[in-house]
Amino acid sequence: MTEHEHVRVAVIGSGFGGLGAAVRLRREGVTDFVVLERAGSVGGTWRDNSYPGCACDVPSHLYSFSFAPNPDWPRTFSGQEHIRAYLEHVTDVFGLRPHLRFDSEVKLMTWDGENLRWEIETSSGTLTADIVVSATGPLSDPKVPDVPGIETFPGKVFHSARWDHDYDLRGKRVAMVGTGASAIQIVPAVQPEVERLTVFQRTPPWVMPRVDRAISGAERRLHRLLPLTAQARRGLLWGIRELQVQAFTKRPNELGLVERLAKRNMTRVIKDPELRAKLTPTYRIGCKRILLSSTYYPALAQPNVDVVASGLSEIRGSTLVAADGTETEADAIVFGTGFHVTDMPIAERVVGADGRTLAEAWSTGMKSLRGATAAGFPNWMTVIGPNTGLGNSSMILMIESQLNYLADYVRQLDVVGGRAALDARPGAVEAWNTRVQERMKRTVWNTGGCTSWYLDANGVNTTVWPGTTTEFRGATRRVDLAEYDLLRPPAPDPAPGHRADGGRKKKLEAGA
Ligand SMILES: Cc1cc2nc3c(=O)[nH]c(=O)nc-3n(C[C@H](O)[C@H](O)[C@H](O)COP(=O)(O)OP(=O)(O)OC[C@H]3O[C@@H](n4cnc5c(N)ncnc54)[C@H](O)[C@@H]3O)c2cc1C
pLDDT digits (tens, 9 = 90+) for 269-303: 999 999 999 999 999 999 999 999 999 999 999 99
Strand partners, 151: none
Strand partners, 108: 121
Cα–Cα separations (whole angstroms), residue 107 to 36, 110, 366, 417: 11, 10, 20, 30
CA of 16, closest atom in ligand 1? 25
DSSP structure string for 315-355: EETTEEEETT--EEE-SEEEE---B--TT-GGGGGEE-TTS
Q: How is the beta sheet containing 173-177 ordered, strand by strand?
A: 156-159, 332-335, 173-177, 196-200, 305-308
135 close to ligand 1 (CB < 6 Angstrom): yes
346 close to ligand 1 (CB < 6 Angstrom): yes
CA-nearest of 20, 112, 357 to 120 is 112
242 close to ligand 1 (CB < 6 Angstrom): no
Mutate to test the pocket of ligand 1, among 23, 24, 45 (most ligand atoms within 8 A of CB): 45
**Per-residue pLDDT in tens (0 to 9) along the chain, 512 residues:** 445 799 999 999 999 999 999 999 999 999 999 999 999 999 999 999 999 999 999 999 999 999 999 999 999 999 999 999 999 999 999 999 999 999 999 999 999 999 999 999 999 999 999 999 999 999 999 999 999 999 999 999 999 999 999 999 999 999 999 999 999 999 999 999 999 999 999 999 999 999 999 999 999 999 999 999 999 999 999 999 999 999 999 999 999 999 999 999 999 999 999 999 999 999 999 999 999 999 999 999 999 999 999 999 999 999 999 999 999 999 999 999 999 998 989 999 999 999 999 999 999 999 999 999 999 999 999 999 999 999 899 999 999 999 999 999 999 999 999 999 999 999 999 999 999 999 999 999 999 999 899 999 999 999 999 999 999 999 999 999 999 999 999 887 665 544 444 444 344 333 32
Rounded CA gap, 435 and 432, in Å?
5
Supply the pLDDT for residue 496: 53
465 close to ligand 1 (CB < 6 Angstrom): no
Specify the 3-state DSSP secondary structure of 256. Answer: helix
Mutate to test the pocket of ligand 1, among 24, 75, 139 (most ligand atoms within 8 A of CB): 139
* Ligand 1 centre distance from Cα of residue 166 (Å): 24
* Ligand 1 centre distance from Cα of residue 334 (Å): 20
Give 489's DSSP letter: P
CA-nearest of 381, 386, 438 to 405 is 381
Count other Cβ atoms within 10 Å, centred on residue 231: 14
Name the CATH superfamily housing domain 5-141+341-493+500-507: FAD/NAD(P)-binding domain (3.50.50.60)
Q: Which residues contact 215 (CB under 8 A, 6 or more apart)?
A: 73, 74, 75, 76
* Ligand 1 centre distance from Cα of residue 490 (Å): 38
Rounded CA gap, 485 and 197, in Å?
56
CA of 185, closest atom in ligand 1? 1
Cα–Cα separations (whole angstroms), residue 399 to 243, 406, 497: 20, 10, 46
In this prediction the pTM is: 0.94
Residue ID of nearest Cα to ligand 1 atom 33:
13
Domain ranges of the chain: 5-141+341-493+500-507, 150-211+237-335
Fold match between domain 5-141+341-493+500-507 and domain 150-211+237-335: yes
* Ligand 1 centre distance from Cα of residue 127 (Å): 24
Residue ID of nearest Cα to ligand 1 atom 5:
56
284 close to ligand 1 (CB < 6 Angstrom): no
Supply the pLDDT for residue 239: 97
Supply the pLDDT for residue 4: 78
CA-nearest of 280, 80, 267, 337 to 189 is 80
Supply the pLDDT for residue 501: 45
Contacts of range 148-154, beta carbons closer than 8 Å, 24 or more positions apart: 148/313, 148/314, 148/315, 149/314, 149/315, 149/316, 150/315, 152/315, 152/316, 152/317, 153/315, 153/317, 153/318, 153/330, 153/333, 154/317, 154/318
Up-side HSE of residue 202: CA atoms within 13 Å toward CB?
15
Rounded CA gap, 69 and 227, in Å?
8
Cβ 310 vs Cβ 318: under 8 Å:
no
Rounded CA gap, 71 and 492, in Å?
57
User: What fold does the segment set 150-211+237-335 form as a domain?
Assistant: FAD/NAD(P)-binding domain (3.50.50)
Strand partners, 121: 108, 126
